[in-house]
Structure 1
Amino acid sequence: MQLNIPSNSRLFLPPKIVIPSFMVKGVVKTNSADTAGALVRLFARSDAALVGQVITKADGSYKFTVFDTKEKFIIAHHPKRLFNAVIQDNVVPK
């Protein structure tokens, strides 16, 4: 089977589908100091499904990209287990 395309014709690609994304971001601090290396997990509030997990950067910051604005909750664990885990509830992606 051979496909013949005239040299003066153009191929049209389908339009790009844009999926909106939203952010959940913050900073983990202990005793007012940034906490690098903390494990941060993001969960859907509706069914507690794990949405994602990241390790905080040197400045203690973290960031998640999500594809809905449904409420979430976050659990952060200290990298050296010097402090108990903390929970932030009712997080709304923006």
Structure 2
Amino acid sequence: MSEYRVTTPATGFTGVSAGVNFTNGVAEPVTDGPALSYFRAAGYGVEEIEPPETASATEPNDPPPADPPKPTDKPTTPTKTGGKPDKEPTR
């Protein structure tokens, strides 16, 4: 279904005309066929507008999702404070 932007001949009109709400002289989107016929005949500006695109889950410029972390084969060893592995002092 096509959508239209309708502008009033009276600049800045806010109110209802032919059952359509106008704010500052503009109503959109308008899809009512009989109202559109009236607006065209009465000298209103009527222009077709593109419906807004729905955002996809992944936009084309988004980086691909990161791979989940892989489990390691090595067991973890406890560490002392400071994050360094326990080691025997070398002499």
TM-score (norm. length: structure 2): 0.33
The structure with the largest alpha-carbon Rg is 2
Question: More strand by proportion, 1 or 2?
Answer: 1
The structure whose residues are more often helix, as a share, is: 2
